[in-house]
Amino acid sequence: MKKSEKDRVKKLLQDKASVRLDIGCGENKKPGSIGVDFRQVEGVDIVQDLTMFPWKNIPDECADVVMASHVLEHISPLSSDPRLSALIKILTRKGVMTKEEVKENIGDHEFLGGFVRFMDEIWRILKKDGQLIFSVPFAGSPGFWQDPTHVNPMTHVTLAYFDPLAKDSAGNLYNLYTIYRPKPFKLQTCYYSTVGFMEIAMNKRQIDPSYKTLEDTLVDKKLKKD
């Protein structure tokens, strides 16, 4: 992003008492929010490809709230192609392209899980205790299957992969967070219909070393108890 564009986005964010980013808004930006989309159409304030990481046009810890209406189901859950990563390394080593050019035009090309990487970016741009609010069709519902561009099915349990302290209906920890160990969120509300949609609110958690060893600790306690 050119210096003039960085200054423009910085001023845009600073002029708001409370920064609400509507990502993937298209031409339907929510009133009072700042629109983010890869298309430069009416209502879009920050042009950013949300599948290219990191989101170079959005600074760290700038948003109080991030909203996404029927966007996350379009984000590929796949990891980056290792062949592409290898090719980029060869081209930079041979001097065909520079690391600066890779950073500017390609970005992160070694991420594990595109949707996990996407959620990490939301965590990065949220302020302390900032909130993510989003809606998606429930996995397997007619609303999910009807759109040929839906690639990321989600259920209420999917959210437990991002909340280290998420519990099931019986009050037991899901213990799914340590599988991918993304940046941590706290699930606040989850309304869903298995044949309809999910409406979710999550808050940014601060990094806590205990989250990464939570599963091991629980296993140790169970072994000692047995």
Query: Per-residue pLDDT tens for 19-72?
Result: 999 999 999 999 999 999 999 999 999 999 999 999 999 999 999 999 999 999
Query: Residues 127-150: what's their mean pLDDT?
Result: 98
Residue 226 clears pLDDT 50, i.e. is over it: no
* CATH number for position 69: 3.40.50
Give the β-pairing of 185-192 and 126-137: unpaired
Helix or strand (DSSP H, E) at 13:
helix 3-14
| Closest residue by Cα to residue 206 from 130, 114, 116, 118 | 130
| 185 and 106 belong to one structural domain | no
Residue 224: the pLDDT is 46
First CA to last CA across the chain, in angstroms? Answer: 57
| 203 and 95 belong to one structural domain | no
What percentage of the chain exceeds 70 in pLDDT? 92
Residue 5: the pLDDT is 81
| 47 and 154 belong to one structural domain | yes
pLDDT digits 0-9 by tens, 162-194: 999 999 999 999 999 999 999 999 999 999 999
Residue 11: the pLDDT is 85
Residue 138: the pLDDT is 98
| Closest residue by Cα to residue 64 from 5, 132, 6 | 132
More confident residue, 57 or 3: 57
Q: Which residue has the tokens 């296993």?
A: 219
| 106 and 163 belong to one structural domain | no
Residue 216: the pLDDT is 52
What is the number of domains present in the chain? 2
| 37 and 97 belong to one structural domain | no
| 184 and 197 belong to one structural domain | yes
Query: Residues 124-147: what's their mean pLDDT?
Result: 98
Out of 7-21, 122-136, 174-188, 204-218, pick the least confident.
204-218
Long-range contact list for 159-167, CB < 8 A, 24+ apart? 159/185, 159/187, 159/190, 159/200, 159/202, 160/187, 161/116, 162/119, 162/187, 162/202, 163/187, 163/202, 163/205, 164/205, 164/208, 164/211, 164/214
Q: Report which DSSP code applies to 78.
A: P
CA–CA gap between residue 6 and residue 59 (Å, rounded): 9
Q: Structural domain of residue 96, as residue ranges?
A: 79-110
Task: List Cα–Cα distances, 170 to 27, 34, 173, 174, 215, in angstroms.
Answer: 42, 39, 9, 10, 18
pTM of the model: 0.90
Q: 73 near 150, Cβ under 8 Å? A: yes
| 219 and 122 belong to one structural domain | yes
Residue 2: the pLDDT is 59
Q: 98 near 92, Cβ under 8 Å? A: yes
CA–CA gap between residue 8 and residue 21 (Å, rounded): 16
Helices in 47-204 by DSSP H: which ranges?
A: 82-93, 99-105, 114-125, 142-145, 177-180
| Closest residue by Cα to residue 58 from 109, 99, 24, 98 | 24
| 196 and 95 belong to one structural domain | no
Query: Residues 182-207: what's their mean pLDDT?
Result: 97
| 88 and 171 belong to one structural domain | no
What's the half-sphere exposure (Cβ side, CA atoms, 13 Å) at 57? Answer: 24
Residue 214: the pLDDT is 55
